[in-house]
Amino acid sequence: MNSTSNDQQSKTVLVTGATGSVGRHLVDQLVADGHRVRALTRSPETADLPDAVEVVAGDVTADLPTGIFDGVDAAFVFPADGVTAFVKSAAAAGVPHLVVLSSLAAAMEHERDRGSASQLHHSRIEDAARESGTAWTILRPGTFANNLLSWSQPITYRGGVTGPYPTAAQAPIHEADVAAVAAVVLTSPGHESKTYAMTGPESITRAAQVATIGAAIGRELTFTENTPEEFRAEMNQYGVDDGIVNMLLDYWSDTVHTPDVVRPTVENVTGRPARTLAQWAIDHTADFS
């Protein structure tokens, strides 16, 4: 852990999305490193953030509280719907540096990304930051390990999961590693006008992802393959937008023969290796028990 040696080096960081999976890790890291944190949240009474954090009631998509940007050295921009107005307001108020949480889909490295729900959403926010007139840094994580929490109920109650493309291989990133990179970028110089693609440290098949969770919780789990059509029908029953379903199926189909490329960004920026999926599964055993 890096510590701040004196108050002159400490920063005041405004964090949006502070009660989310990345935001909580980010707030904890910033506080541990001796920085001042102001957290914007819609529900301060249930935020449950460290005592050192200045918790402010507000919503990035609505009128912002008076003085929210006062004294802020950098702001972490969570990619909520409607956050582009926040980006513009932060820049107009003179916030020196915006760090935007985006998605690797916005890089459009693959044809499947172009026009996808994730690409369109995150590209709009990235464009707003670049056009804001203030310094910016873009963080582009690939698939989050936290997406595997969708397997929680079938693993807990049925001892396994059902899905297409069991041999598709992705490089899931631990949410704490996204936060660790964000903490460095928000509080140290030299990251302005840079875009960081980020993944976990290994590309691992969907079937092996299930087995990794099983090893963490001490259960032998199964992966039962079904067809893309069966998966689509199941998702439609749950009301999942067809654009999201298409995005997932295209991603999994592509990574059967072309696994995710592993990026060294976490280690390059933070100085320590990215957490493995096995570590993520250990950290989340309660979610699968």
pLDDT tens digit string along 197-215? 999 999 999 999 999 999 9
Q: How many residues does this entry show for the chain?
A: 289
Token pair belonging to 237: 């029953």
For residue 80, being part of any structural domain is answered with: yes
Query: Tokens 């693993």 label which residue?
Result: 155
Q: Is residue 255 part of a domain?
A: no
Name the one residue in this structure whose structure tokens are 């890790």. 25
Classify residue 282 by burial, with Cβ atoms within 10 Å: 0-12, 13-18, 19+. Answer: middle
- The count of structural domains within the chain is 1
State whether the Cα torsion 53-43-13-185 is positive or negative.
Answer: positive
Residue 147 lies in a domain: no
Note the pLDDT tens digit of each residue in 101-118.
Answer: 999 999 999 999 999 999
Share of the chain above pLDDT 70, in %: 97
Residue type, 237: Q
Secondary structure of residue 274 in the 3-state scheme:
coil
List residues bridging with 135 in a β-sheet.
97
Report which of residues 2 and 252 the model is more confident about: 252
Backbone phi, psi, residue 220, to 5°: -90, 110
Dist. CA 120–CA 100, nearest whole Å: 15
In a domain, 246, yes or no: no
How far is it between the farthest Cα atoms of the chain? Answer: 59
Predicted pLDDT of residue 122: 98
Considering the entire predicted model, what is its pTM?
Answer: 0.94
Phi then psi for residue 56, to 5 deg, are: -120, 130
Residue 5 has pLDDT above 90, yes or no: no
* Spatial separation of the C-alpha atoms in residues 171 and 275, rounded to whole Å: 11
Residue 123 lies in a domain: yes
On the question of pLDDT at 128 being above 50, the answer is yes
In whole angstroms, what is the distance from residue 64 CA to residue 87 CA? 12
In the chain, what are the helix, strand and coil shares in percent, each to the nearest 5?
A: 45, 15, 40
247 part of a folded domain: no
In whole angstroms, give the CA distance from residue 43 to residue 227. Answer: 41
Averaged over 129-158, what is the pLDDT? 98
Rg (CA), the chain: 19
* Residue at 216 is within a domain: no
Residue 36 belongs to a domain: yes
Q: What is the mean pLDDT of residues 43-48?
A: 94
Phi/psi for 164 (5° steps) reads: -85, 165
Domain extent for 60: 12-141+175-198+261-274
Q: Could you tell me the CATH number of the domain that includes residue 191?
A: 3.40.50.720
pLDDT, average across residues 239-259:
95
pLDDT tens for each residue of 57-97: 999 988 899 999 999 999 999 999 999 999 999 999 999 99
